[in-house]
Amino acid sequence: MAGLHAGDVLEGRYRIETPIARGGMSTVYRCIDLRLGRSVAAKVMDERFIDDPVFRTRFRREARSMAMLSHPCLVNVYDASSDGEHVYLIMELITGGTLRELLDEQGPMKPYAAAAVMRSVLTGLSVAHEAGMVHRDIKPDNVLINGNHQVKLADFGLVRAGAASRHSTDQIVGTVSYLSPEQVTGGETGPQSDVYSAGLLLFELLTGRTPFSGDTPVAHAYQRLNEDVPPPSSKVPDIPPEFDALLARATARDPHERYADAGEFLADMERTVRDLGLPDYEVPIPLNSAAHRANEKASPPTDLLTSAMVAAGVGNSIEHAATTVIPAVTEEQAETTQMLPVDAAPPINATTAYERRPETTGEIPVVPAPVPDPSQQPAPPGPPVVQKQAPAVENRSKAKLAVWLLVIGIVTAAVVVGGWWLGSGRYGEVPQVIGMERTVAEAALQEAGFTPVAEDVYSDEIEPGFVADTNPKTGEWATRGGNVALLVSLGKPSVPGIPESYSASEYRERLEERTLVWAQGADVYSDEVPKGGVVSTDPGIGTTVSTHSTVTVALSKGPAPVHVPDVRNKTRQEAIQTLEDAGLKVSGIEEAFDAEIGRGKVISTSPETDAEVDRGTEIKLILSNAIEVPDVTGLTESEARKKLSEVGISVRTVTTDSSASGGTKVVSGTVPVAGRFLDPANAEVDLTVTHQVRVPLVIGKTVKDAVATLQREGFKVTGVDDADNSDRIISQSPSPASLTEYGATVTLYPF
């Protein structure tokens, strides 16, 4: 079997342009799909293995496993063949390069850049894990970067259906630097094995090296059985400790201590990125890659329909050029493959293998009835024939025959064309327009016989204004002249604003319109948003997020409750101000008696002090109406009665002290005493009246004159026993003009 060269055509459809890369088992070529007019990559199995049935089976299984997966973060498989002269895969052409080439050019990455790469790697890997598959060969060479900066995971040569079987072998399968401990020991491998390898990949992105080494591959492989992966910050000091924690869990030696799968690893990494506030990052394209070199050698596809006809031959059956349908299976994949970047085609979104409508043309042969020839018909019975000269045959007979033949031909052609139209002729294949600018894509669909209808969609990979997908899908069959939806990218969605009504149902619709998923968060209090309305979101409003991201929404519980403040013993105005400051309203005021609180001050509130109520609740004040007993001591009975009456107190009884006589009768006390509070409903006091005289003023007089004056008024004198009669009085007690009992003692202070 001869090797492939530029210009060779695989099975009449894929024209070889230039080789991109060669591996131990296969060669990857840049090709032109002559049917669809697009650049693709052909991975052709090495002819050394063409007769090896085991190797051929493994290659076929690789194609089937890869065809099961369809996602923008995975390299897509379009076609496959394992029965002809060549065994090959037809895959999406990657136009940038490999992550290995990028690392060789730029060295270690900052955490935000490494996270951007791992986001796509883990996303693609999680798709495989959800499908029950395991990759088993995660490494920089199998991570590709397209021309639109999209990172894609490739080469599922070691993928096997994890749900159907477990991998156990006497040989180590995989790339030594990225093996998990269970791969080294030949144990069971599942999604946790890919998580370990992905952790080693993240370590290399951050530090520029892998964590283990050895003199031999075996020593290198076995080192991870006895040693933990060191924290990346031990190699590059400015790496945040949060990334150390990510790596520690992802690369735990015990699989049960790792993340369960790539999806869990991705979720934890995204939380770390948010917590650290790391910026978004566009992964650069390697400058010196095999893909670029292949692009320089390749010629752009021109007039591909004509090329296909020339290459395949006009008489070739359309049926023989049909794309192979790859059924989804769960058989094991044994071959390690490598998909390298190749082209500068527009970014191509993930597509799914599809089942085509047969393109064979069915012809219904129509055989015309024979035209009778008069010369060959037996003569009717009759008299003997008289021989005469045969008449000449007119041209009109030949013309009739020609007309009949023409009519029959037209009818036959109509039947054939009608059968073709009613069969496959009325259908056309939706062309590849993903990644094209809208107007270019519309023109391509119109040229293919379809009516484009633009619809806006959100996309994580496709830039705004470019086509993210079509409906029907690329390669599917649709009625010519019918509508084909062009799903034009709006880019990544952003978290929408909250409606003016704060309506939760309306906001849920806004999220769904942007592919975002509602998640109910904890309810919060709000003075502005009514109960049940949307208060806030996480991520915040206007934040750009990936499609189908979860947005946590906090709903309002209404205003926060307040505790009724203590306003006891405050004046009415003071209490009102305090309650209003707390967000409450005073709805009414009542009065009641309290023996401890004076008139006009607050006794209590309703609701009571410290009760938890809603903001704006109306509070009733209870004020004291108590009457305070005034001090009427020293007043005459009539003066005392007047003063008590002014405050609403009446005199119940008057008791006169009979032990005193002379002088003036004055009030010596009340019951209750001055300062006590009385109930207005029973405001009465008892008075005690006694005879009292006023103390005369003797200050400034001589001792002799002062003693004489006081004794003359009936007072006793003390304090002058040692004084001279000529000494002057400088002070006296009780004070001058004060009332006291008749015969009381007055103390003098001479000088």
Q: SS3 of 274, please?
A: helix
How high is the pLDDT of residue 160?
Answer: 43
Instruction: Answer with the residue of higher pLDDT: 464 or 714.
Output: 464
How high is the pLDDT of residue 9?
Answer: 93
Model confidence at 524: pLDDT above 50: yes
Instruction: Answer with the residue of higher pLDDT: 12 or 381.
Output: 12
Confirm or reject CATH 3.30.10.20 for domain 628-692, answering yes or no: yes
d(CA 202, CA 271): 16
Active site residue 523: no
**Pairing mode, strands 143-145 and 97-98:** antiparallel
Domain boundaries, the chain: 1-93, 97-159+175-297, 494-556, 561-625, 628-692, 696-750
Is the bond into 734 cis (omega within 30 degrees of 0)? yes
d(CA 715, CA 740): 10
Crossing angle between the packed helical segments 262-276 and 241-250, to the nearest 10 degrees: 170
Give residue 341's pLDDT band: very low, low, confident or very high (50, 70, 90).
Answer: very low
706-740: per-residue pLDDT in tens?
Answer: 999 999 988 899 999 999 999 999 999 999 988 78
- Mean pLDDT of the residues in the chain: 81
Name beta bridge partners: 613. Answer: 562
**Pairing mode, strands 612-613 and 562-563:** antiparallel
- Cα–Cα distances (Å) from 655 to 100, 645, 666, 672, in that order, read 115, 18, 11, 14
DSSP summary character for residue 342: -
CATH number of 696-750: 3.30.10.20
d(CA 431, CA 214): 51
Q: What is the dihedral of CA 599, 601, 604, 610, to 10 degrees?
A: -160
d(CA 517, CA 465): 24
Render 580-601 in DSSP notation, one character per residue.
HHTT-EEEEEEEE--TTS-TTB
Left if phi > 0, otherwise alpha if psi is -120 to 50, otherwise beta: which for 193? Answer: alpha
Model confidence at 113: pLDDT above 60: yes
Question: What stretch of H or E contains 21?
Answer: strand 14-22
**How crowded is the C-beta side of 478, counted as CA atoms within 13 Å?**
21
**How crowded is the C-beta side of 60, counted as CA atoms within 13 Å?**
17
Q: SS3 of 303, please?
A: coil
Average pLDDT of the segment spanning 169-180 = 71
CATH topology of domain 1-93: Phosphorylase Kinase; domain 1 (3.30.200)
- Cα–Cα distances (Å) from 192 to 195, 260, 410, 421, in that order, read 5, 6, 68, 53
Instruction: Answer with the residue of higher pLDDT: 706 or 377.
Output: 706
Give residue 189's pLDDT band: very low, low, confident or very high (50, 70, 90).
Answer: confident
Average pLDDT of the segment spanning 73-80 = 88
Instruction: Answer with the residue of higher pLDDT: 422 or 483.
Output: 483
**How crowded is the C-beta side of 368, counted as CA atoms within 13 Å?**
16
How high is the pLDDT of residue 313?
Answer: 35
The closest of 161, 221, 219, 224 to 191, measured between CA atoms, is 161
d(CA 633, CA 614): 52
Same fold, 97-159+175-297 and 561-625: no
Q: SS3 of 653, please?
A: strand
| Structural contact between residues 450 and 442, judged by C-beta atoms closer than 8 angstroms | no
Model confidence at 219: pLDDT above 80: yes
Is the bond into 301 cis (omega within 30 degrees of 0)? no
How high is the pLDDT of residue 102?
Answer: 94
Give residue 661's pLDDT band: very low, low, confident or very high (50, 70, 90).
Answer: low
Average pLDDT of the segment spanning 440-444 = 91
Length of the chain equals 751
Model confidence at 373: pLDDT above 70: no
Give residue 360's pLDDT band: very low, low, confident or very high (50, 70, 90).
Answer: very low
42-70: per-residue pLDDT in tens?
Answer: 988 877 777 777 667 766 776 777 777 88
- Cα–Cα distances (Å) from 639 to 271, 635, 687, 691, in that order, read 86, 6, 12, 15
Question: What stretch of H or E contains 395?
Answer: helix 395-420
Percentage with pLDDT > 90 across the chain: 52
Q: SS3 of 425, please?
A: helix
78-110: per-residue pLDDT in tens?
Answer: 888 876 778 888 999 998 889 999 999 999 999
- Cα–Cα distances (Å) from 684 to 201, 591, 643, 652, in that order, read 96, 20, 13, 6
CA 134 from centroid of its chain's CA atoms: 27
Q: What is the dihedral of CA 477, 480, 485, 487, to 10 degrees?
A: 70
580-634: per-residue pLDDT in tens?
Answer: 999 899 999 999 999 999 999 999 999 999 998 988 899 999 999 999 999 998 8
Average pLDDT of the segment spanning 472-498 = 91
Model confidence at 15: pLDDT above 70: yes
Token digits for 307?
């090329």
CATH topology of domain 97-159+175-297: Transferase(Phosphotransferase); domain 1 (1.10.510)
Name beta bridge partners: 669. Answer: 688
d(CA 380, CA 638): 174
How high is the pLDDT of residue 393?
Answer: 40
Q: For domain 561-625, which architecture applies?
A: 2-Layer Sandwich (3.30)
Query: For residue 719, which phi and psi values (nearest 5 degrees)?
Result: 100, 5
Model confidence at 314: pLDDT above 60: no
Three-state SS for 40-108 is EEEEEECHHHCCCHHHHHHHHHHHHHHHCCCCCCECCEEEEECCCCCCEEEEECECCEEHHHHHHHHCC
| Verdict on whether the full-model pTM lies above 0.95 | no
Token digits for 69?
């997966």
CA angle 297/300/306 to nearest 5° reads 130
Tally of CB atoms within 10 A around 741: 19
- From the candidates 33, 79, 137, 261, give the one annotated as an active-site residue: 137
Instruction: Answer with the residue of higher pLDDT: 259 or 414.
Output: 259
Token digits for 239?
């790496």
30-49: per-residue pLDDT in tens?
Answer: 999 998 888 999 988 877 77
How high is the pLDDT of residue 419?
Answer: 54
Confirm or reject CATH 3.30.10.20 for domain 494-556, answering yes or no: yes
Query: For residue 111, which phi and psi values (nearest 5 degrees)?
Result: -55, -40
Average pLDDT of the segment spanning 653-668 = 75
d(CA 282, CA 149): 7
Give residue 20's pLDDT band: very low, low, confident or very high (50, 70, 90).
Answer: confident
The closest of 692, 694, 688, 690 to 734, measured between CA atoms, is 694
Lookup result for tokens 């809603």: 614
**Pairing mode, strands 716-718 and 745-750:** parallel
